[in-house]
Amino acid sequence: MTAISVPSWSPDAFTAMRLGFAFVVLGSIARLQFFRPRGRPTAPVGLARIVDLSWMSGPVMFTWSQRAMYAAVVCYAADVLTVYALPVLTIAFLLELTYRSSYGAVNHGHHVVCVVLVAMLAGVLTWNAASAFNWDLSPLTADSQNATAAWWAIQAVLAMYFTSGLQKVIASGGAWIRVSPNLLLSVQRSAHLSRLRGGPRQSAEERSERLSSHLIGRRSLVRFVFALGLLVELVAPIGLFGEYVLLAVGIGLIALHLANAALLTIRFDVWALVVLVFFVIPPFFR
Q: Are 184 and 236 in contact (CB under 8 A)?
A: no
Q: State whether residue 134 is helix, strand or coil.
A: coil
pLDDT tens-place string over residues 163-188:
999 999 998 888 888 877 777 666 65
Count of beta carbons in the 10 Å neighbourhood of residue 194: 16
The ranges of the chain with pLDDT < 70 are 1-2, 34-37, 39, 105, 184-217
pLDDT at residue 215, rounded to an integer: 61
* Cα–Cα distance list, 153 to 35, 109, 112, 212 (Å): 31, 17, 10, 35
Q: Are 48 and 41 in contact (CB under 8 A)?
A: yes
pLDDT at residue 208, rounded to an integer: 59
Phi, psi of 259 (to 5 degrees): -65, -40
Q: Are 177 and 228 in contact (CB under 8 A)?
A: no
Phi, psi of 44 (to 5 degrees): -60, 140
pLDDT at residue 197, rounded to an integer: 57
Among the listed residues 278, 282, 281, the one whose alpha carbon sits nearest the alpha carbon of residue 21: 278
Domain definitions of the chain by residue range: 11-181+216-284
CA distance linking residue 60 with residue 53, whole number of Å: 14
Please name the amino acid found at residue 282: P
Q: Are 278 and 119 in contact (CB under 8 A)?
A: no
pLDDT at residue 1, rounded to an integer: 47
